[in-house]
Chains A and B, each alone.
Chain A
Amino acid sequence: MSIQRSSHRIIQIIIVLFGISFLTFLLVYLSPGDPAEIMLTECGNIPTPELLAQARKDLGLDQPFFVQYGSWLKGVVTGDMGMSYSFKVPVFQKLLSCLIPTVALAVSSLLLMIAVSFPLGVLSAVFHNKVLDYLIRGFSFIGISIPSFWIGLILLRIFGVNLGWVSVSGGTADGRSLILPAVTLAIAMSAKYTRQVRITVLEELNKDYVTGARMRGIPENKILLRHVLPNVLLPLVTILGLSFGSLLGGTAVVEIIYNWPGLGNMAVKAIACRDFPLIQGYVLMISLLYMTINCFVDLSYPLIDPRLKEHKS
């Protein structure tokens, strides 16, 4: 990607982030419930009107909407996203501490997904309309129809309750308790991705150059490895980048089931407590993460397909 396109892309990201943050801020502003009252009631006592007025003033809630948004935006740029109402720590600090477990979970389930669905999808395409293809398609069909939270509950019941291999209560972010959440997420995603790999490979196999290669007597597995797979890599990496988005959203459900101390778990708790600064921080963080990843995906195109590099010059 040229410098011009990269900078164009970065500007686009900033605009979208701006829009998203404005939208969440507006939503929070319009939502019922007074943050000052919520924050003070968190401490357990019923606040007096004087205390409420003071808290509103401290939080800047007596200011007009755009002033509030402006000061929040100013804070974000300088790395200050305000204080979390419910956790009583800076939002930025809380987000960072929850980011690592979520990234660990997302990356490990993504690797698991690739390891499962890539070979399955390719096999399914190669053995098109054979028994193996039907089997793999059947599995992926069932996989996309089962809710991930149900899989999670069943796995937890089997491995947590019946076999006692993992703790049912969760709460720790170690390698052992990572396995089940990662597997749960990977199952749902693998089903979808296997289908996409299959379709992409199948399309490529029907192209003329493959027929040509076959006619020249090039062995089938060599066609697959040398010709087809390098060509399908590009669309597959794009889909992978996009599926990372649904993954980041999907982690919330799985994190809740296994009580995994990540961003999704934190967000659900933050919403339950109406912890608005934390919700805003979470939305901003996830969108930044998602768009950065997709930007990297775009940047990787010339590495995967050198033709894209040559075209530019």
Chain B
Amino acid sequence: MKRRLALLKTNRQLTISLVLLIIILLVAVFAEQLAPFDPLSADMNKSLTAPNSLNKFGTDKLGRDLLSRIIFGTRASLGSTVIMVGIIFILGTFLGILAGFFGGWVDHVIMRLADMMISFPGLVLAIAIAGVLGPNLVNAVIAITAVSWTKYARLSRSLVLRINESLFMKAALVTGTSNRRLMSHYILPNIFPPMLITAMTDMGTLMLEIAALSFLGFGAQAPAPEWGLMLNEGRTYLTTAPWLMIYPGLAMVIVVVTFNLLGDSVSDLLDTQN
């Protein structure tokens, strides 16, 4: 009874976070239909208007509607995060499989590189990379990828090492299965679930990291509606227009909470299943 109750509870958390995620996705997809105004059209007559019935969240210094910008910002923030997590996931897993499967010098090169990256504060290197390559969202993604793949490489490598010892793997080896087939049909399906869960639990953190880079001016560039950048723009008007920093931040918190809830409940589910 108690176990069933616990499972129900994790499922409830899972349901809530999934519903929230779907809503957020819908907002991102239907931004054009949902936003009351064009996020980029400036109207200097309405510069820094406080929230009212027309502009629900107020306007920024160029008179652009904040609500519309936040709605469109969902696209930028969500899009860049999902793409980034995807790249990190694929790159890290791929390198980890290579290291674990081949061993020897391949393993050495990849893992020493990972050691180097891990013995270094991530955001500092990301700032340096993004700063040197030039500030834009693509370079911010590259910068964070460069410091984040190591975690996935380490994890997938350790999983591969365990699979290497398994009987089915040895059987496949003695029957002369090709390396490529071993990796794609024997290793990948087995390490995929734990890797995917790691990626899901990391979504929130990585979203905050990319927003932090945008906030510092090394990510999305004006006039793009991106939450980190919007907070940076709103910073100047801390005294006169506090809504400029409240609402984009709130939007970010909601999305990150959703991701973290989802990640927590998915990894809980896996724990209880094991």
Q: Spell out A's residues near B (CB within 8 Å).
A: 16, 19-20, 24, 27-28, 31-32, 141-142, 144-150, 153-154, 156-157, 160-161, 168, 245-250, 252-253, 256-257, 267-268, 271-272, 276, 279, 282-283, 286-287, 290-291, 294
Contact = CB atoms under 8 A, between A and B. Distances in A.
B123 A250 contact: yes
23 contacts: A16-B116, A16-B119, A28-B132, A32-B134, A148-B212, A153-B231, A156-B238, A157-B238, A157-B245, A161-B239, A246-B122, A249-B122, A249-B124, A249-B126, A252-B216, A253-B123, A253-B212, A256-B215, A257-B235, A272-B131, A272-B217, A287-B124, A290-B120
B67 interface: no
Residues of B in contact with A, size category: 35 or more
Given A249-B121, A271-B218, A146 B253 contact: yes
B242 A157 contact: yes
Interface string B188-201: 00000000000000
Contacts of A283: 124-125, 128
Contacts of B116: 16, 19-20
Contact of B215 (A32, A149, A287): A149
Nearest to A242: B118
B127 interface: yes
A279 B217 contact: no
A148 B81 CA distance: 18
Given A272-B131, A286-B121, 16 more contacts: A20-B120, A141-B260, A144-B205, A145-B256, A147-B253, A147-B256, A150-B253, A246-B122, A267-B127, A267-B128, A272-B217, A279-B128, A282-B128, A286-B124, A287-B119, A287-B120
Nearest to B227: A147
A72 to B, nearest CB: 15
A146 B257 CA distance: 8
B238 A161 contact: yes
Interface of B: 115-116, 119-129, 131-134, 204-205, 208, 211-212, 215-218, 228, 231, 234-235, 238-239, 242, 245-246, 249, 252-253, 256-257, 260, 264
Nearest to A250: B123
Top 8 nearest A-B pairs (CB, nearest first) are A249-B123, A271-B131, A150-B249, A245-B121, A249-B121, A145-B256, A249-B124, A145-B257
Contacts of A250: 123
B257 A142 contact: yes
A248 B119 CA distance: 13
B249 A245 contact: no
Contacts of B249: 146-147, 150, 153-154
Contacts of A156: 238
Contacts of A16: 115-116, 119-120
A27 B130 CA distance: 10
B215 A168 contact: no
